[in-house]
Structure 1
Amino acid sequence: MNGANANRAAHGERGRAFGSGKRVAVIVTEYRFNSHADVILGRLLGDFDYTPQVEVVSIYTDQVPGNDMSRDMAARRGVPIYPTIAEAVKAPSVPAPIDGVVIIGEHGDYPVNEKGQKMYPRCRLLRETLEALDELGVTVPIFSDKHLSYDLGEAKWMYDQLKLRRIPFMGGSSIPHTDPVPAYDPALLETANEWLVVSFSTSIEAYGYHGLEVLQSLAERRHGGETGVRAVWALEGDDVWRAMDRGEWPESLMLDALTVYPDIRPGHPRELGQHPVLFAAEYADGSRGYVIQFKDLVDQWGYAFRSEGGGVTVARCDSEKQRPFGHFERLTRMIESFVISGRPPFPMERVLMSTGLIGYGMESLHAKKPVEAPLLQIEYGRGVDGSFRS
Structure 2
Amino acid sequence: MRIAAIVTTYFPTSHAGVIVGKFLRGFPTDDGLIAPRTEIASLYIDQIHERDIGRQIAEKYDVPLYESIRAALTLGGTRLAVDAVLLIGEHGDYPVSRLGQEMVPRRYFFEQISAVIAQADRPIPVYNDKHLAYRWEDAQWMYETARELKIPLWAASALPVVWRRPNWEHPAGEKIDQALVIGFHMVERYGFHALEVLQSHVERRQGGETGVRSVQCLSGEQVWRAADQEKWSVSLANAALSKIDGGPGKLEIDRVTDPLVFLIEYVDGLRAAVLMLGDNGFVRKFSYAQQRGTAIDSLEYHVDSGPTHAAFGYLGLNIEDFFVSGAPPNPVERTYLTTGILEAAMISRGRGGKLVRTPHLASIHYRSHSRARRPTGSRPSGASIADWQTLEPGATPAAQSIPTSRAGTVRGSRRRED
TM-score, length of structure 1 as denominator length: 0.89
* 1:47 positional shift: 7.0
1:137 shift after superposition: 2.2
**Given that residues 189 and 218 in structure 1 are in contact (C-alpha distance below 8 angstroms), is that contact kept between their aligned partners in structure 2?**
no
The CA deviation at 1:243 is 1.1
| Residue equivalent to 1:7 | none
Summarize the Cα distance change of 1:93–1:71 in structure 2 as closer, same or farther, 3 Å threshold.
farther
Counterpart of 1:350, as a letter, is R
Number of the residue aligned with 1:13 = none
Structure 2 counterpart of 1:316, from 290, 300, 305: 300
Name the stretch that deviates more: 231-240 or 312-321: 312-321
How far apart, CA to CA, are the structure 2 residues paired with 1:371 and 1:95?
44
Q: Look up the match of 2:233.
A: 250
Question: Cα distance 1:185–1:139, how it changes in 2: closer, same or farther (>3 A)?
Answer: closer
- Out of 299, 304, 313, the residue aligned to residue 289 of structure 2 is 304
Kept after mapping to 2: 8 A contact 1:193/1:222: no
- Tell me which protein shows more helix as a share of its residues: 1
- 2-structure distance, mates of 1:70, 1:335: 20
Cα distance in 1 for residues equivalent to 2:313 and 2:368 = 27
Query: 1:306-339 CA distances to partner (integer Å, 9 max, x unpaired)?
Result: 11x2211000112226432211100000011110
**Alpha-carbon distance, 1:382 to partner:** 4.3
Of residues 186, 205, 209, the one that matches 1:222 is 205
Structure 1 unpaired stretches of 5+: 1-21
Which amino acid in 1 is paired with 2:118?
A: D
- 1:179 deviates by 3.3
> Residue deviations 1:18-62, cap 9 Å, x none?
xxxx11101000000100000100111227875322100011111
Judged with a 3 Å threshold, the aligned counterparts in structure 2 of structure 1 residues 43 and 245 are, in CA distance, closer, same or farther, namely same
Q: Structure 2 matches for 1:1-390, cutoff 5 A?
A: 22-46=1-25, 51-92=35-76, 97-184=81-168, 186-187=170-171, 190-201=174-185, 203-265=186-248, 268-295=251-278, 296-307=281-292, 309-320=293-304, 322-368=306-352, 369-377=354-362, 378-382=364-368
Structure 1 range deviating more: 294-303 or 282-291: 294-303
Q: Structure 2 regions of 5+ residues with no counterpart?
A: 373-418
Moved over 4 A (4+): 47-50, 93-96
Distance 2:236 2:249 in 1: 17
Where 2:4 maps in the other structure, the secondary structure is strand
Residue type of the partner of 1:45? Answer: L
Letter of the 1:293 partner, please give it: M
Q: Following TM superposition, by how much is the alpha carbon of 1:267 offset from its aligned partner in structure 2, in angstroms?
A: 5.8
Q: CA deviation at 1:229?
A: 0.3
Q: How much identity, in percent, do the aligned residues show? A: 36
Once residues 49 and 196 of structure 2 are traced to their aligned partners in structure 1, the CA distance between those partners, rounded to angstroms, is: 29
8 Å CA contact 2:159–2:193 kept in 1: the answer is yes
Greater CA drift, 62-71 or 100-109: 62-71
Cα root mean square deviation, aligned: 2.1
- Counterparts in 2 of 1:274 and 1:259: CA distance versus 1, 3 Å: same
CA contact (8 A) 2:86 2:128 kept: yes
User: What is residue 376 of structure 2 aligned with on the other side?
Assistant: none
CA contact (8 A) 1:199 1:291 kept: yes
Q: Is the 8 A contact 1:168 1:342 kept in 2?
A: yes
Question: With structure 2 as the length reference, what TM-score do the two structures score?
Answer: 0.83
1:188 CA drift (Å): 6.9
The superposition leaves residues 128-163 of structure 1 with CA deviations (integer Å, 9 ceiling, x where unpaired) of: 001111222211011000001111111111110011
Aligned-partner Cα distance in 2 for 1:276–1:97: 48
Q: Does structure 1 retain, via aligned residues, the 8 Å contact 2:265–2:271?
A: yes
Deviations 1:245-300 (A, max 9, x none): 12221111001100101212366331214321101110000001110011222212
